[in-house]
Homo-oligomer: A and B are copies of this chain.
């Protein structure tokens, strides 16, 4: 083992030959101190979550959020702030979502309320509601096998969220398709509505909404997400052979697209003003919560980095754009517009970073970069170790910066916070200010700032 230990000693020296170790480490510590001491990000998040609140694209809160972002960027010291116009979808929930199930017991009809949210982008049942027999399926395979039974029924997708995945995003990645296209898949065989088990690790009964997309060729049917404690109740009834009917009342509809804005603050580059580094999060959120982790923290981190850079008198060599994207939750219009404009103006985008995985304690970053960039990244890793964000993984991006990557092959990265708590609150009423640890959010911003600083200084 002696040889191993020697190698371990050698690596840092070799690696640091690539960077101005002492200055970089000192500058990152000054960022850290500045961000930990400042209360700006606390108040910014408080304002956004408590005074603006849920801010789905097209809503009055969206307009308020844009104004909040504009003011916060100005206060943070941006050289300039622009509102980049961007048409956004305008789905409204339209009312209180209600559901119940009923079944016969001892000659009587028992009716039990069920906690639901209409899934975003779904059509409502309207005041007439939908009542039909419920058919439980555990996955699409079962749906296909039993397709002849579907007609006229409400399909209940009972796909457990797999707690065994250490990385909770993997469980989500596996199940989200049922929320996304479950309605159309069931409509294909004549279902009148779908109920989808919420995608969460939590032990509570909060439904978790999110977006669906209808396949154009198929009838659009109502869709709801169901709280998992109620799912367990339904499961028990099914297991006991009970014949269940469900009653759904939802009110969702699309109004005409409306005008939203990407909020863009800028620090002008001293040496390469035309080469752009982008960092951002998305400003919109679901309507049912305060959009704290999704993605209030990403927006607040973005502004906080701007503020700290200015406070420290840091002038970047490249232009850094701090962007709050207009629409991610039920469309990708913010990021698309940003990349379109970049193309129209023939901009050079050298790097983009997004924080949209919650404001939890940072573990590292996922990168989608040229293979030859990894030598550089690996040489930087030890600078992140004191801040907890040194796990660099291959593959990473953000929904809002992905159009840049697609357009220009821009190298991109996503902040990877610890994700054990994310699906407790994701798209549920519990995603509120109180669920955020301000220090964890700050530590994420510190790691992001360090990465931006290194990319600005050394390129990627």
Q: Known contacts A361-B361, A438-B203; is A163 also within 8 Å of B37 by CB? A: yes
Q: Tell me, in angstroms, the Cα distance from A203 to B36 when the chains sit together.
A: 13
Contact B163 A388 (CB under 8 A): no
Chain B residues positioned under 8 Å from A10 (CB to CB): 7
- Among B5, B32, B386, B388, the residue within 8 A (CB) of A418 is B388
Chain B residues positioned under 8 Å from A421 (CB to CB): 437, 439-440
Q: How far is the CB of A395 from chain B (nearest CB, A)?
A: 16
> What residue in chain B is nearest A440 (Cβ atoms)?
B420
Contact A4 B378 (CB under 8 A): yes
Chain B residues positioned under 8 Å from A168 (CB to CB): 439
Interface membership of A333, Cβ < 8 A: no
Chain B residues positioned under 8 Å from A363 (CB to CB): 388
The interface bits of chain A over 347-377 (1 if a CB of B lies within 8 angstroms of the residue's CB, else 0) are: 0000000000000010100000000001100
Q: Tell me, in angstroms, the Cα distance from A370 to B256 when the chains sit together.
A: 70
Interface membership of A387, Cβ < 8 A: yes
Contact A11 B4 (CB under 8 A): yes
> What residue in chain B is nearest A36 (Cβ atoms)?
B163
Q: Tell me, in angstroms, the Cα distance from A388 to B15 when the chains sit together.
A: 24
- Among B4, B163, B388, B438, the residue within 8 A (CB) of A14 is B4
Contact A203 B42 (CB under 8 A): yes
With A42-B203, A166-B443, A418-B418 known, 20 other A-B pairs at CB within 8 A are A1-B378, A1-B379, A4-B15, A4-B375, A4-B378, A5-B375, A8-B378, A32-B164, A32-B166, A33-B164, A36-B166, A39-B203, A163-B439, A166-B387, A361-B361, A388-B418, A420-B437, A420-B440, A421-B437, A421-B440
